[in-house]
């Protein structure tokens, strides 16, 4: 089992050494990590970012882990949450699960066990989350249909594949090489065929909208976000 392409994990942990160890272990395995050591800052990141999972300590400065879970669940967030804490009593575990945690791992722990637990969370999440959302743009994975606000977005087969890749990675950048691989595997055509496909996608999803979502990072790739720098 492997993480989805560019799986984004938010780590809320105030132990700097542990954070460094997790970055060193998980990033080479394909994960994109963000981290916060303070509960308020972590909650803000969780609410603003598009993460595939959260790894959350119980005892954080300014706001405890359970308070963060309550706030996220109250806002209808279904992001998978793994509690990573030294609290090992059964009452603590029950309280965490009833509050809205999806998994619970006590310190000290093996990094390999943490990895397989993350993989399991992501696999379950992919099974229940069948709609991707970036701002007012929604893409239904079951019907392969897109909608921008109340407007239906007509898409070709290639545009749908590109849109899914960009929405899964949002707000991170997806490189040209990754997008070419999405369409053509290891045998991309000669010339800059990707540009014409991206032009088609941009015209379909942005059109006359005041807020542009698809942005170009010249020489690098593309990103889908409300506030991207169009370079």
And the tokens for 140? 């239904």
Q: Which residues contact 1 (CB under 8 A, 6 or more apart)?
A: 116, 119, 120, 123
What pLDDT is stored for residue 48 in this prediction?
78
Which residues in the chain come in under a pLDDT of 70?
A: 1-6, 49, 126-130, 142, 227-231
Q: What is the pLDDT of residue 76?
A: 76
Give the Cα separation of 220 and 89 in Å (integer).
48
pLDDT digits (tens, 9 = 90+) for 34-48: 999 999 999 998 887
Domain 131-224, second-level architecture: Orthogonal Bundle (1.10)
Please give the pLDDT value at position 130.
64
Query: What is the pTM (predicted TM-score) of this model?
Result: 0.55
Q: Beta-carbon neighbour count of residue 90 at 10 Å? A: 7
**pLDDT score recorded for residue 231:** 40
Q: What is the pLDDT of residue 3?
A: 53
Task: Enumerate residues 6+ apart whose C-beta is below 8 A from 30.
Answer: 2, 3, 5, 6, 7
For residue 11, the model assigns a pLDDT of 94
pLDDT at 171: 86
Query: Would you state the pLDDT for residue 2?
Result: 53
User: What is 8-128's CATH topology?
Assistant: Rossmann fold (3.40.50)
Residue ranges, CATH 3.40.50.2300, the chain:
8-128
Domain(s) of CATH 1.10.10.10: residues in the chain? 131-224
């Amino acid at each position: 089992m492997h993480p989805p392409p560019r799986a984004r994990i938010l780590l809320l942990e105030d132990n700097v050494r542990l954070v460094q160890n997790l970055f060193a272990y998980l990033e080479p395995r394909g994960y994109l990590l963000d981290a916060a050591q303070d509960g308020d800052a972590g909650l803000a990141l969780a609410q603003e970012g598009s993460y595939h999972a959260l790894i959350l300590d119980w005892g954080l400065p300014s706001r405890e882990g359970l308070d963060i879970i309550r706030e996220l669940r109250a806002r209808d967030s279904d992001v998978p949450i793994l509690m990573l804490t030294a609290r090992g009593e059964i009452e603590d575990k029950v309280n965490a699960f009833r509050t809205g945690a999806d998994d619970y791992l006590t310190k000290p722990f093996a990094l390999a066990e943490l990895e397989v637990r993350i993989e399991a969370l992501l696999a379950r999440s992919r099974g229940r989350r069948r709609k991707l959302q970036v701002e007012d743009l929604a893409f239904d994975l079951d019907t392969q249909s897109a909608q921008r606000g109340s407007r239906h977005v007509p898409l070709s087969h290639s545009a749908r594949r590109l849109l899914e890749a960009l929405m899964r990675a949002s707000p991170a950048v997806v490189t040209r090489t990754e997008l070419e691989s999405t369409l053509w595997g290891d045998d991309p055509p000669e010339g800059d065929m990707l540009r014409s496909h991206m032009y088609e996608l941009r015209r379909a999803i942005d059109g006359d909208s005041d807020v542009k979502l698809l942005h170009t990072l010249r020489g690098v790739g593309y990103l889908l976000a409300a506030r991207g720098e169009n370079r």
